[in-house]
C-alpha cells in the first residue's frame, strides 16, 4: 500500500494518489502435505518421549520404595537385636553379682549392646534418608513411609527370553529417537517443497489523480538458487545421527533386559539360600548358645559372636528380598513397555 498527496486542498488530507497491490506466492510443490507430516511425526515423538519419561519415573519410584522397605526391615532387625543385647547385659550383670560371670564378660556384653545401639541409630537414619528419597521420586512434598509387603510382578516364562530381547527395540526411549529421525526427514521434504520454484500472482490498483484509476494483473516466477538444499541436508544429517543413536540404544536395551532377566533368577537363588539355610542356621546357633550359657557350657564371647552372625544374616535376608523384588519389578516394567 502506497499513499501520496498531489493537491493538499482538493485531497482534504485523504490522499489523492495511492497504490494498492496484492501478491500471492504459489509453489510448484505444495508444502502442505509435508508440513502436515512434520506435525504428525512431532506429535508421535512427543508422545514417545512422554511414555519414556513415565517409564523412568515408575522405575525410580519402584527402586526408591523397595530401598526404603529394606531400610525399614534392617531397622526392625536392629531393634530386635538391641532388645536381645539388653537382656544379655542384664543376665551378665546378675551373673557377675552371683559370681557366675567375670567383669571382662560383662564388658563384652556392654560393648555388644553399644555396637547394636549404633546399628539401630544408623538404621533409623537410613530409614529417614530413604523416605526423603522416595518422596523426591514421587514428587511429594513430605516424607513417605513404606508399609506392607514387597510388591510382586508376574513375568513371562524363560522359554520366551529370546523373543523378549528382540522386543527391546520397542522401548519408548528408543522409539522416541527413531521418531525424531522421522521428524527430521519429514522436515527435509518440507524444506525442499517450501523453498522450490514459485509462481507469483498479483493484482494492483493505481490512482494518479481524482477520477483516474489504473488496474492490472501481474504474474512472475521465482527460482531460489539452492531450493532449500542446505536446510534439507542439515535435517537429513540430524536424522542419520538419530538413527545411529537409536541403534546404540537398542543394543544397550537388549543387554539391559537380558541382565534384568538374569538378575531375577540370580537373586531368587540367593534369597532361597539365605531364607532357607543361612538365617535358620544362625538363629538356631544363637539360640543354642543362649541355652548353653544358662547352664555354663559356653561363654559370653561365643554367644555374642553367634548373635552378630544372626544379625548379619537377617540384614542380608532383607537386602536379598529387596534385590529380588527390584529385579522382578524392573524386568516386568521393561517387558511391559515393549509389549505395545
SS (H, E, C) the chain: CEEECCCHHHHCCCCCEEEEEEEEEEECCCCHHHHHHHHHHHHHHHHHHHHHHHHHHHHHHHHHHHHHHHHHHHHHHHHHHHHHHHHHHHHHHHHHHHCCCCHHHHHHHHHHHHHHHHHHHHHHHHHHHHHHHHHHHCCCCCCCCCCCCCCCCCCCCHHHHHHHHHHHHHCHHHHHHHHHHHHHHHHHHHHHHHCCCEEEEEEEEEEEECCEEEEEEEEEEECCCCCCHHHHHHHHHHHHHHHHHHHHHHHHHHHHHHHHHHHHHHHHHHHHHHHHHHHHHHHHHHHHHHHHHHCCCCCHHHHHHHHHHHHHHHHHHHHHHHHHHHHHHHHHHHHHHCCC
Query: Which range is least confidently modeled, 37-41, 207-211, 215-219, 226-230?
Result: 207-211
149-183: pLDDT as tens digits: 888 788 777 666 677 777 888 888 998 999 999 99
**pLDDT greater than 80 at residue 184:** yes
What pLDDT score was predicted for residue 216? Answer: 74
Please state the pTM of the whole predicted model: 0.74
Share of the chain above pLDDT 90, in %: 40
Q: What is the mean pLDDT of the chain?
A: 84
100-157: pLDDT as tens digits: 888 998 999 999 999 999 999 999 999 999 999 999 999 888 888 888 888 878 877 7
Amino acid at each position: 500500500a502506497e499513499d501520496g498527496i498531489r493537491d493538499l486542498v482538493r485531497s482534504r488530507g485523504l490522499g489523492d494518489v495511492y497504490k494498492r497491490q496484492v501478491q500471492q506466492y504459489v509453489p510448484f510443490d505444495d508444502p502442505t502435505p509435508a508440513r502436515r507430516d512434520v506435525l504428525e511425526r512431532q506429535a508421535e515423538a512427543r508422545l514417545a518421549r512422554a511414555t519414556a519419561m513415565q517409564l523412568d519415573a515408575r522405575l525410580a519410584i519402584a527402586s526408591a520404595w523397595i530401598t526404603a522397605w529394606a531400610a525399614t526391615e534392617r531397622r526392625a532387625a536392629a531393634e530386635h537385636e538391641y532388645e536381645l543385647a539388653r537382656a544379655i547385659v542384664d543376665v551378665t550383670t546378675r551373673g557377675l553379682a552371683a559370681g557366675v560371670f567375670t567383669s571382662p564378660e560383662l564388658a563384652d556384653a556392654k560393648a555388644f549392646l553399644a555396637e547394636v545401639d549404633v546399628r539401630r541409630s544408623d538404621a533409623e537414619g537410613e530409614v529417614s534418608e530413604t523416605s526423603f528419597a522416595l518422596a523426591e521420586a514421587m514428587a511429594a512434598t513430605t516424607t513417605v513411609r513404606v508399609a506392607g509387603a514387597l510388591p510382586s510382578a508376574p513375568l513371562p516364562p524363560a522359554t520366551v527370553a529370546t523373543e523378549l530381547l528382540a522386543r527391546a527395540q520397542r522401548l519408548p526411549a528408543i522409539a522416541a529417537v527413531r521418531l525424531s529421525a522421522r521428524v527430521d526427514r519429514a522436515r527435509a521434504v518440507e524444506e525442499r517443497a517450501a523453498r522450490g520454484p514459485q509462481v507469483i500472482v498479483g493484482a494492483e490498483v493505481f490512482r494518479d489523480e481524482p477520477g483516474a484509476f489504473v488496474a492490472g494483473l501481474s504474474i512472475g516466477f521465482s527460482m531460489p538458487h539452492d531450493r532449500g538444499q542446505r536446510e534439507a541436508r542439515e535435517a537429513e544429517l540430524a536424522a542419520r545421527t538419530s538413527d545411529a543413536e537409536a541403534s546404540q540404544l537398542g543394543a544397550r536395551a537388549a543387554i539391559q533386559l537380558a541382565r534384568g532377566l538374569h538378575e531375577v533368577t540370580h537373586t531368587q537363588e540367593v534369597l532361597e539360600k539365605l531364607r532357607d539355610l543361612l538365617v535358620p542356621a544362625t538363629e538356631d546357633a544363637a539360640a543354642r548358645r543362649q541355652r548353653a550359657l544358662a547352664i555354663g557350657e559356653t561363654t559370653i564371647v561365643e554367644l555374642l559372636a553367634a548373635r552378630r552372625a544372626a544379625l548379619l544374616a537377617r540384614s542380608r535376608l532383607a537386602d536379598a528380598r529387596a534385590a529380588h523384588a527390584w529385579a522382578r519389578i524392573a524386568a516386568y516394567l521393561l517387558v511391559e513397555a515393549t509389549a505395545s
